[in-house]
Amino acid sequence: MEYHELTVESAQKLLCEHKVSSVELTTALLDRIEKYDEKIGSFITVDKKRALEQAKKADQDIADNNIFSLTGIPIALKDLLCTKGIKTTCGSKILDNFIPEYDATIVKKLKDNGAVIIGKTNLDEFAMGSSTENSAYKITANPWNQEYVPGGSSGGSAAAVAARFCCAALGTDTGGSIRQPASHCGVVGLKPTYGRVSRYGLVSYASSLDQIGPITKNVKDAAILLNVISGNDKNDSTSSRVDVPDFNLAIDLFEKKSLKGMTAGIPKEYLSVDGIDPDVKKVFHDAGKILEDLGVEIKEISLPHTEYVVAAYYIIAPSEASSNLARFDGVKYGFREKRADDLIDMYKQTKSKGFGMEVKRRIMIGTYALSAGYYDAYYGRASKVRTLIMEDFSKAFGACDFILSPVAPAPAFKIGENIDDPLTMYLTDIFTLSANMAGIPGISVPAGYSSKGLPIGIQMMGKKFDEMSLLRAGHGFEKTIQLDKRFPKI
């Protein structure tokens, strides 16, 4: 049996039928990580001892018929989520020795549902980047072609799922950091509605934009994980009290009704963006045809403030980052520069040596935007633009059930190709940023391949708290195109 090919759903079935044990499954994946991850670099920490202990407990629970939705399933976590007793680095030198004393709410939910936490994945430092080249520890490679980036900032999680090192993984999405690497690695990435999933225990980059979500081998697995991690949390004041449906019903709805009666909107502003790769255009066009054949009505819509999204985002996100990262001063936890003349010098030396270049760049941008005399001109104005962006989406969803777009303007690029060009890096998220600014859900589903054999995904964005429509449409598209069985041979 090829254990690494199992999805969450298929592994569940075999575990419950006693045809495989969690220890066997977990051991096989740990062996695969040991054999191949030196080439990919998807993990910062592999917690072999705890993973096998959790797997043994899962097998006992299954024997006792004490089974939950993820019992015995090996899952990886982006190293931005606090894990009790396991190092949480955020991909930064400044947290190199930080071991949390508590689990993030979603980590606790995974454990309560029987999941096996197999390790912590690599990321752009503090989730600031689009290529996973900004980590203080390593550069993650794309499993489809190791000369290329996997995307970011959740590149480690996406690469781990694509390379079949785990059944599924969790990432975080501040401006596309789940959807873009999922697209580049040929897997499914779902960013839930802001507030759908608790952020308690997530080390924040930009608090009003961050959201945790699943990266999986197929859409059905995304629904299974979303069922587990969703829901209100008293520890998170931004956590929504909106009822959580059974997201598996979205899959059932497609099986009963296909996609007939659904409407997809294509923003005319997105298709006029300069520099869209011809392969991306072709895959997107073909995806629209497939959805039409499934009964979806395609219509053109308008999101008139699209041209301001990138500019507004790169004021709001760095501003919030400059505030959130102020706590990392070398006093309470993390790296401290001991060779300092006084307290102020210790602050300066710790932050200068502990943070990487991209993090320092964004902190400086954010601090400037929030400074006296500039707050209204920059942050205040960007916040007003954000309101207009939200209104654009609200009007658009009056005419459609979901919005269809590319995930990124181009497939994955070569490692090192754009590392010295921050503006080009920032523009790679042009199609994904809007969902975070508006707080709406979005999903990336594999849709095809470039002329170089690199995966390309399509994006579907939905109304607030309507992940059901995205899962239904995503599953229908996926089942028709049948790319979910393909994975890279490493």
The residues carrying an active-site annotation are: 78, 153, 177
Evaluate the CA torsion angle 336, 203, 121, 210 in order and state its sign.
Answer: negative
Give the three-state DSSP class for 55.
helix
Helix, strand, coil tally for the chain in percent (to 5):
45, 15, 40
Contact 135, 123 (CB under 8 A): yes
DSSP per-residue string spanning 425-476: HHHTTTTTHHHHHHT--EEEEEEEE-TTS-EEEEEEEESTT-HHHHHHHHHH
Which residues share a beta bridge with 406? 458
Q: Report the C-alpha gap between 41 and 401 in whole angstroms.
A: 39
Q: Report the C-alpha gap between 154 and 375 in whole angstroms.
A: 31
Give the three-state DSSP class for 267.
strand
409-444 as b/e: b if 16+ CB within 10 A? bbbbbebeebbeeeeebbbbbbbbbbbbbbbbbbbb
- Residue 273: is it exposed, middle or buried by C-beta count within 10 angstroms (0-12/13-18/19+)? middle
Give the three-state DSSP class for 194.
coil
442-449 and 455-462 beta bridge pairing: antiparallel
Q: Report the C-alpha gap between 137 and 156 in whole angstroms.
A: 12
Q: Report the C-alpha gap between 489 and 487 in whole angstroms.
A: 7
Tokens 């754009």 sit on residue: 418
Q: Report the C-alpha gap between 272 and 399 in whole angstroms.
A: 21
- Interhelix angle 248-257/219-229, rounded to 10 degrees, is 140
